[in-house]
């Protein structure tokens, strides 16, 4: 397997994750909210520490948030002194796709799928629990088929608060009680168990369609809270998107070696 050094940057809807890979291994991760522009430079500096003094290192960025991406890109170019490459624009994500011709799929979903299949080499479902919660199916040949999208936990709670006059503003966390004995706990219970139930139901339908149960991997900012004790989910991988960026670079380098 080809070795590489990489600063991987994943710009999400709400947060950006930056990870340093030294000789192909993830060594440092830093996260910041996209609305905290004062944190961007320090987060990049923190994450890139393992690459200080390394002459040959790549910088590769993915994004599902164009506005935030431009701000991050400008600071990357200023502080890294290296050319910044873009996922899909410069390096294609190495995952097959069976989608409608007009479909536009977020880079984050494709990167998660590429990383999961590269690790498992078998049919799998990737659940990304972020601003939205996505449930995507990858078949045994490594083809991404798309999946389901529902509001994420905080988005659910925010919508209830904004559209129902008497429902309070609630920050998402694991509910303390199975049965909510007050309004806030009832909202948390609904979001927590509702999303877990949605995932289970959708994956069961994928299994019927595929004729076998796929392995389920969860990632995203709310994945630990939602799924760390859920036997239905095989593993939680917080940095799956960053690993997908690394897989994208590695596959490109391996292809270059073969054609040389």
Strand 96-97 relative to strand 143-151: parallel, antiparallel, unpaired? parallel
Distance separating alpha carbons of residues 138 and 239, to the nearest angstrom: 18
Kindly give the residue spans of alpha helices, DSSP state H, lying in 61-131. Answer: 66-80, 107-120
Q: Check 108, 139, 222, 239 and give the catalytic one.
A: 108
Give the alpha-carbon dihedral of 79, 80, 86, 92, to 10 degrees. -160
Contacts of 113 (CB under 8 A, 6+ apart): 95, 126, 136, 138, 144, 244
**CB under 8 Å to 3, separation ≥6 — which residues?**
23, 24
Using DSSP, state whether 145 is helix, strand or coil: strand
Q: At what angle do helices 240-259 and 107-120 cross, to 10 degrees?
A: 70
Residue 38 a catalytic site member: no
Contact 124, 206 (CB under 8 A): no
Active-site annotation, residues: 108
């Amino acid at each position: 397997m080809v070795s590489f050094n990489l600063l991987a940057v994943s710009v999400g809807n709400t947060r950006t994750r930056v990870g340093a890979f030294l000789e192909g291994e993830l060594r440092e991760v830093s996260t910041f909210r996209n609305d905290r522009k004062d944190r961007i430079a320090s987060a990049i500096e923190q994450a890139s520490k393992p690459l200080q003094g390394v002459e040959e290192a790549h910088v590769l960025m993915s994004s599902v948030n164009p506005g935030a991406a431009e701000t991050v890109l400008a600071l990357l170019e200023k502080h890294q002194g290296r050319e910044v490459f873009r996922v899909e624009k410069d390096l294609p994500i190495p995952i097959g796709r069976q989608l409608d011709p007009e479909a536009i799929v977020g880079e984050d979903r494709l990167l998660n799928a590429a990383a999961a299949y590269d690790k498992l080499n078998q049919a799998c479902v990737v659940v990304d629990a972020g601003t939205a919660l996505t449930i995507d199916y990858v078949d045994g040949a490594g083809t991404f088929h798309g999946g389901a999208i529902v509001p994420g936990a905080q988005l659910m709670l925010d919508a209830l608060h904004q559209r129902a006059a008497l429902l309070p503003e609630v920050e998402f966390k694991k509910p303390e009680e199975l049965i909510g004995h007050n309004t806030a706990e009832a909202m948390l219970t609904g979001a927590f168990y509702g999303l877990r139930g949605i995932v289970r139901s959708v994956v069961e339908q994928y299994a019927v369609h595929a004729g076998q149960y796929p392995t389920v991997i969860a990632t995203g900012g709310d994945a630990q809270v939602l799924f760390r004790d859920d036997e239905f989910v095989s593993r939680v991988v917080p940095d799956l998107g960053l690993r997908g960026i690394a897989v994208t670079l590695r596959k490109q380098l391996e292809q270059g070696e073969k054609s040389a």
